[in-house]
Amino acid sequence: MPLSVNKVEISDREINIESAFQEGSIEQRQTRAAVALAVREVLLQRARELHLDNAQSAEQDDDALIEELLAREVRIPERDESACRRYYEANPERFQSPSVAVVRHILLAAAPDDIETRDAARQRAEGLIAELRDAPGKFAVLARAHSACPSREQGGALGPISRGQTVAEFETVVLRLPVGLAQRALETRYGYHVVWIDERWEGEPLPYPAVSERIAQYLHEQAWRRAVSQYIRLLAESQEVEGIDLEAAQAP
């Protein structure tokens, strides 16, 4: 059945074009594209019903018309200070200064799909760790001799590392390691790393005044998304939509 909203048909070509902006399998992209276009048409028809397009300037497009419609018809509660404080108190882990580790490493490089080379890199890393247990002062020398990372020129020093500065699998481990030589090689997509933590500072809780605006903005955006979602569902129920079930498709 062709996709249409109140007898206004949405072509397969339009769906195919829109599907390029969606994610998932081909079938999922097609479904999500159909939902997006049907919702867009529902909103545009409502805007025209309210004659909002009469005031539209030549420079405005359909997106601007939809924004004007939502601004006019969707209402959310004003900022609630008590809700912000409750969110702050319920999510303390989200409001901390970043943990920092001062790191040195030796990278034994190996491609992710090269099992043989990765096994050899792991064994070399374990050998270097054993050598460093007996002679910790040799780290810089061994880094210059064995590391595949440009940091070898600085004796393997990466400097201070915090969340978001390196690949996730590396920082997740190093930000939890105690000061000193890591007793096991750290595996990442790049190979195996011999790691030494020189210093570390744990993140500290941020005071509420420092994050209150961020929390208020986050809660505002969440409330806005919920309100828009509810508005679209209620609006779609009164429209004649054929070719897709917006409720079953969980339209945004």
> Which tokens is 43 given?
């909103």
pLDDT at residue 1 in the model:
64
pLDDT at residue 216 in the model:
92
User: What phi and psi, each to the nearest 5 degrees, are found at residue 108?
Assistant: -100, 100
Distance between CA atoms of residues 200 and 178, nearest Å: 8
Q: Average pLDDT of each block of 10 consecutive residues along the chain (252 residues)?
A: 87 91 89 91 91 63 89 85 93 89 97 93 97 95 96 95 91 94 96 97 91 93 91 89 72 52
pLDDT at residue 163 in the model:
87
As beta bridge partners, residue 186 has 193
> pTM of the full predicted structure?
0.58
> Please, what's the b/e burial string for 43-79 (b: 16 or more CB within 10 A of its CB; e: otherwise)?
bbebbeeeebeeebeeeeeeeebbebbbeebeeeeee
User: What phi and psi, each to the nearest 5 degrees, are found at residue 10?
Assistant: -110, 120
Side-chain-side CA neighbours of 142 within 13 Å: the count stands at: 24
Q: Which helix (H) or strand (E) holds 211?
A: helix 208-237
